[in-house]
Amino acid sequence: MLDKTPMQCWADRARAVMPAGGFGNFDPSVFIRKGKGARVWDEDGREYVDYLIGSGPMLLGHGHPEVLEAVTTQLPMGMTFFANNAPAVELAEEICRAVACAEQVRFLSSGGEADMYAMRLARAFTGRDKMLKFEGGYHGMSAEAQMSLAPARLVNFPQAVPDSAGIPEAVRNEMMIAPFNDPDYLESLLAEHGDQIAGIIVEPLQRIIPPEKSFLQAVRSLCNRYGIVFVFDEVVTGFRFAYGGAQEEYGVTPDLCTLGKVIGGGFPLAAVAGRKDIMDHFDKAIVGDDKWLMMLGTLSGNPVAAVAGLKTMEILRRDGAYEQLKANGVRLMAMFRTHLDAAGVAHRIIGHPTLFDIVFTDRDVRTYRDVLSADAGISARFNTVLRENGVFKSPGKVYPCLALTEADFEMTEAAIVAAAVALG
């Protein structure tokens, strides 16, 4: 019998001690040993151009020397304190300068936590119980967020479909679901239920689906009309689309937003940011016992993540950083389009230059249901051949980073050619 590879040995060990042999995030057969710049290496020694970038946070690439220097300077001074620290205050100040809706900031450790607290804030502020999200929108792993994230069973709106076991029926009854990019449906729904809804939470770019012209503006106006808290989930888009995030890119200001990924510079850090009168519900001295929203987090605002985030954001403020990031994405989009067209493969490239993917369909993609109806088998084959040829990406996203080099683009294009030919 042939000896097992290092990754196969690690997979055996993982299956013995971890459910499904992994963290629940990604293909559990893959074990990454190291990353540098725009590349990663697995435990078998294979090298890849990395378009997963840790599911988004490594916007500068892996091991950026200035970020490493900031972190190694902080480490001997302390890793976490469960108390205020100056770097986290500086980071909060910079977020408030950069993000249109941010008058105050509260830190957490993960984007899912931030989304959970944003929804709770909306309820605390309005005194209402119901939340509305859009079908296919991802907002973490809370019970509310796990409603109609990726339903295989399509039901009539606004009924919610739980995506996980263990969610009480009562939670389902407090969630309403609407189709993305359909302001007319939303207006009709709010005409009947608007006075019951505390908040509407949306990914401004829903996974990879862009908002149609005026959709976000329409949601903003409807929230104003019905006294609903409007929440942008900018865990992915924040400091990626532009320094001011999707709020800057689309010119729409929500009441609250959630941030993560980029603001921690590769370390666990997230935030809720927004209007002071809503954020006041974190302050018992202002709102009193009955309206106070309790929040604790052992590692929230830890100084290591804060200094990594501050340095990352400083680098992103430098001249040409966003122009280069977007140019990298536009170049990649063109590569995919050119070679898939040449192979005669029906597809749509959906998203933003800093975050996109290829959907194998001959239809326009406006909603989750359009993505669901695409050819998942072709997509899986395409991604498999890309990985076999040295391109590492998630099943549903391409994340460009600033560290991409000419050699990285050449290796990527060769993999795209091989994958397109395999489908043609």
Torsion of CA 400, 179, 201, 354, to 10 degrees: 10
Q: Is 261 in the active site?
A: yes
Strand order through the sheet with 270-274: 104-108, 270-274, 256-259, 229-234, 197-202, 130-134, 175-178
Catalytic choice (42, 233, 255, 357): 233
Q: How far apart are alpha carbons 274 and 295 in whole angstroms?
A: 16
Catalytic choice (51, 138, 250, 399): 138
Q: How far apart are alpha carbons 364 and 138 in whole angstroms?
A: 21
CB-based contact 35:377 (threshold 8 Å) = no
Closest CA to 202 of 227, 237, 173: 237
Count of CA atoms in the C-beta half-sphere (13 A) of 170: 1
Tokens of 266: 């590769």
Catalytic choice (261, 311, 393, 397): 261
Q: How far apart are alpha carbons 121 and 124 in whole angstroms?
A: 5
CB-based contact 99:168 (threshold 8 Å) = no
Q: Is 408 in the active site?
A: no
Question: If you write DSSP's letter for every residue of 256-274 in order, what string do you get?
Answer: EEEE-GGGGTTSS-EEEEE
Q: Is 34 in the active site?
A: no
CB-based contact 50:38 (threshold 8 Å) = yes
Active site residues per annotation: 138, 233, 261
